[in-house]
């Protein structure tokens, strides 16, 4: 089993679309892959991130999510609004058990790298407990993304291996701006920087090669 964590420079940058497409493509190629969304806030089951990951993974929604909360806020805030809190040791145990049933597991975070998960623990600290093979950083092609991507990449690499940066380019994003973002980010990092969805095959190939090895 190989475990990768998918995080973002912010919320709404395309983590779910990247994760679900990678999982779906790997499964089409005969690789046993699954996407998990341990915690989701702003919960609406039909449109949830978990629903997209479940569909891509060939799973039920309840198989890919551990906890969800109604308030669209940081997990610690959303949990507190329902008079509860997350138990990190239980979350980590659930992820490891679910991931252990598959060859490749992609764990999508809620929000960004340093979003508060509990009153005293950030998402990045939870990820350290998981000990993933690598972190995939997703960013959006918009003003400020160079700064946000480089800052987050630096923060990830302080404690964990950064596997790749994925620049999520939407149909409405100007191609020339996306090209500049790709160039400026790529020349400042030593890991693969992949444009999504244009270079989806390159991203999938990273894990398919691992599967063949």
Long-range CB contacts (< 8 A, 24+ apart) of 40-46? 40/65, 40/67, 40/68, 40/69, 40/110, 41/68, 41/69, 41/70, 41/71, 41/72, 41/73, 41/74, 41/75, 41/78, 41/110, 42/69, 42/70, 42/71, 42/72, 42/73, 42/78, 43/68, 43/69, 43/70
Whether 187 is catalytic is no
Using alpha carbons, select from 209, 201, 213, 212 the residue that is nearest to residue 24: 201
Using alpha carbons, select from 174, 178, 172, 116 the residue that is nearest to residue 146: 178
Which element (helix H / strand E) includes 43?
Answer: none
Task: Identify the bridge partners of residue 34 per DSSP, sorted by sequence position.
Answer: 105
Q: Are 88 and 129 in contact (CB under 8 A)?
A: yes
139 upstream amide cis, omega within 30 of 0: no
The residues that are catalytic are: 37
């Amino acid at each position: 089993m190989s475990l990768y964590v998918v995080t973002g420079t912010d919320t709404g940058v395309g983590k779910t679309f990247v994760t679900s497409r990678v999982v779906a493509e790997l499964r089409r190629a005969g690789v046993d892959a699954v996407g998990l969304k341990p915690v989701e806030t702003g919960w609406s089951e039909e449109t949830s991130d978990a629903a997209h990951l479940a569909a891509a993974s060939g799973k039920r929604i309840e198989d890919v999510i551990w906890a969800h909360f109604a308030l669209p806020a940081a997990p610690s805030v959303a949990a507190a609004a329902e008079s509860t809190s997350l138990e990190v040791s239980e979350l980590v145990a659930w992820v490891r058990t679910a991931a252990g049933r598959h060859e490749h597991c992609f764990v999508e975070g809620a929000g960004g790298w340093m979003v508060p998960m509990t009153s005293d623990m950030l998402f990045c600290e939870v990820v350290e407990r998981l000990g993933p093979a690598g972190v995939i950083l997703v960013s959006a092609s918009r003003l400020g993304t160079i700064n946000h991507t480089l800052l987050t990449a630096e923060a990830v690499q302080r404690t964990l291996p950064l596997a790749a940066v994925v620049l999520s380019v939407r149909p409405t994003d100007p191609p020339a701006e996306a090209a500049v973002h790709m160039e400026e980010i790529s020349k400042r990092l030593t890991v693969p920087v992949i444009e999504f969805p244009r270079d989806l095959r390159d991203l999938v190939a990273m894990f398919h090669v691992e599967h063949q090895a």
